[in-house]
Each structure stands twice: as structure tokens, then as C-alpha cells.
Amino acid sequence: MPIRNRFAELHDEITAWRRDIHQNPEILYETHRTSALVADKLKEFGCDEVVTGIGRTGVVGVIRGRSTGSGKVIGLRADMDALPIHEATGVEYASKTPGAMHACGHDGHTAMLLGAARYLAETRNFDGTAVVIFQPAEEGGGGGKEMCDDGLMERFGIQEVYGMHNWPGKPVGSFAIRPGSFFAATDQFDIDVTGRGGHAAKPHETVDPTVMTAHLVTMLQTIASRNADPVDQVVVSVTSFQTSSNAFNVIPASVHLKGTVRTMSTGMRDLAERRIRELCEHVAAGFGGKAEVTYHRGYPVMVNHEDQTDFAADVARRIAGDCGEAPLVMGGEDFAFMLEERPGAYILVGNGDTAMVHNPEYNFNDEAIPAGCSWWAGIVEERMPG
């Protein structure tokens, strides 16, 4: 099963949709224009049902096959939101919104799933129901959870769910996947360290939170080096260190830290949070100060299900001739919430030699469109043969 001829025919049209979305990026749940465009296209394609407002601004289309006797229902998900980055690509269809751009390729994901939806609505060469899911707020807003909390899976009877992300550095149109833990859990922490401020010439009269916090930053690195099993990944990064004073001759009264924790298992996630709290309490106490931790649990570990991963890889091989083994990714992906609700799999499609995602010079590679559309269509037609 090579790339379907229909997607070669539709390539220019899908590219035009993608570039229109690219020019008009919308952040988090503010995907009003994009959501309306998607809903209008799905209605134009003849989807049996088009529902808006799932997960605030999410859109869902239902496409029934020539028959539905199998009773199978498969969900296909694409994300729609952009990032708060000022674009520096210089392309003629660059963002028209200052400070916002599609720096992660969600414009491409949306366009490819629209292309697959058009094909599936035209051909209906399957026995079952395809549910196309267009999600807002993947970039930190938890739109996937919002859609699930809104009853996405139950309302549409979804039994399996599949997602895709473009991947710079992989050859255009190639695929890679892995079973089990794939993308990391992404947690955040705020730490308020307090001591007693004073004159920098009289440190003995203070409880210096700057020295206290410097030791704490170093100690937090021992979670990975001395508490974690070396084969169980964990990253603890302090990303902001702010004192309550900016003067040269003042020892501040407090310091505020921010950071992130990335883990690949529930056990390691729990251990990292516990050790951060313990280290903060005891390091601060050792200096005569206090440290208060506010820990924010974000996206869970994204875990591909084994059977669905094998199937997704087989579909990819029939399109591209091969499907590589994807690396573990310490970034987060809120498709994890959907994979907690239903079995499924998430795959990477090559974007070629481009800038990495979340970069102002990144741009989705339109040459990947036929492969991506073919994979989504193949998931439906091969899982629910008509």
C-alpha cells in the first residue's frame, strides 16, 4: 500500500489549507478561526456529524463507512494551536499575528487530518466509524484532557485512538514509533526560599537565602545522579533563580526558584516530587531558613499500547517501506490523556532537514503531507477493512 494517489491529487489543495492556517496562528484555546475553518471543511466533505465546542474549542467529525457492522470506532487526533513565538522564517505565508506562530507544525497536522477526512468521506472504504478529532491547547493548556473530560471517548464511542507528530531531522515522509513510554511526564515546581536579609557587609547578621538556594540547586541534581535508577530517566532542571533584591550591597530576604521535572514512569515521577520536597525542607533548615514547594503535575507519561503500536508501524511500513524505532522524548505531549482513556498509538513522520520545533525558524514541510494523510487513512481502512 504505497501513498494513495488521491493525496497526490489533493497535495496542492491541502498545502493551501496548511499555509492559510500558518498565516493565522492561534494560541491555546483561542483557536476560533481555525476551529471554524475545520468545521466548515468537515461539513463540506460530507461528514455524517460535525460537533464543535468539545473541550472548549475542539472540533469532532464523524465519518461512517459503507457498512458499520463491525461496530468498530477509531479516533484520529490532530492538534490545532500555535506557540507564542515571533516567526523568523521569512516565507511568503508567514504569520500575520505578531508574537504567534506555528512553530511546532500543528498547522501541518490539522491540514493532513483534514486531507484524510476528505478522502475517507469520499471513499468510505471501511466497515466501521472514523472519528476525526481536532484539539486545541496542546502547547501547555491540556486540551486533550479537556476534550476527554468533556466526554469525547464516551460520546462518540471511540475504541482506539491514534495521533501523529512531524519530526525534524528524519527524512521527509519516513516514520518512527516505539511501544510503551514514549514522551515524558512534564511537571513544574515553584520554590520559595526565605531567610533573613541584611547588609552584604554583615552576612553574620543574616540568614542568607542566596547561599542556601545555591546549595539547593546543586542538591536537586542528586535526584538524577544518586536517587534514580540509572535506567529510569529523570531530568530536574532549575530554570529561574530570582532574589527579592537586585542591589549590590543587600543580602535578600528571599529567593524564588522555578523549574521542570521530566520522567518516564509513575514511580520515578512520585520519587522526584518526594525528593524535591525533602531536599528543600532539610537543606533550608540546615541553614536556618525555610523553603516552601508548590509542585504542579502536568502532562502524564505518554504510553503507546503494544498491539496498536505494532499495527501503526505496519501501516507505516506499507507506505514508506520501513518504520524506524523512535527515541525516547523528554518533551511532553498531551495526547497522553487520550491514551490513558483508550488504547492507541502515536507516531512520528519525518519533516526533513529543517529547524527543530519550537524554533522561530521552524516550518512544517509540505512534502510530508501525502505520507501523513496516507497513514491516517490506512489506520482506518486496514483496522476496519470493508
- Residue 325 and residue 268 share a domain: no
- Cα–Cα distance between 378 and 4 in angstroms, integer? 9
Q: 99 is in which domain, residue-wise? A: 5-182+301-383
- In which residue are the cell numbers 494513495 written? 4
**DSSP labels for 116-138?**
HHHHHHHH--BBSEEEEEEES--
> H or E segment at 144?
helix 143-149
The answer to whether 58 touches 136, Cβ cutoff 8 Å, is yes
Residue 5's pLDDT is 86
Which of 138, 139, 146, 273 is the catalytic position? 138
What is the enclosing helix (H) or strand (E) of 370? helix 369-383
Q: Over the Cα atoms of the chain, what is R_g?
A: 24
Regarding whether 307 and 166 lie in a shared domain, the answer is yes
Q: What's the pLDDT score for residue 3?
A: 67
CA distances from 280 to 17, 189, 226, 277 (A): 50, 12, 16, 5
The domain spanning residue 262 has which CATH number? 3.30.70.360
- The CA-atom distances, in angstroms, between 303 and each of 105, 251, 264, 317 are 22, 47, 9, 21
Q: Are residues 12 and 38 in the same domain?
A: yes
Catalytic residue among 26, 30, 79, 81: 81
pTM, 2 dp = 0.95
Same domain, 370 and 327: yes
Same domain, 287 and 329: no
Domain boundary among 299, 314, 335: 299
**Closest C-alpha to 162, from 15, 24, 311:** 311
The domain total for the chain is 2
> What are the residue ranges in the chain where pLDDT is below 70?
1-3
The verdict on 378 and 285 lying in the same domain is no
The yes-or-no answer on residue 187 being catalytic is: no
- C-beta of residue 60 within 8 angstroms of C-beta of residue 73: no
109, amino acid identity: H
Told to judge if 81 belongs to the known catalytic residues of this protein, a careful annotator would answer: yes
Say which CATH number the domain at 331 has: 3.40.630.10
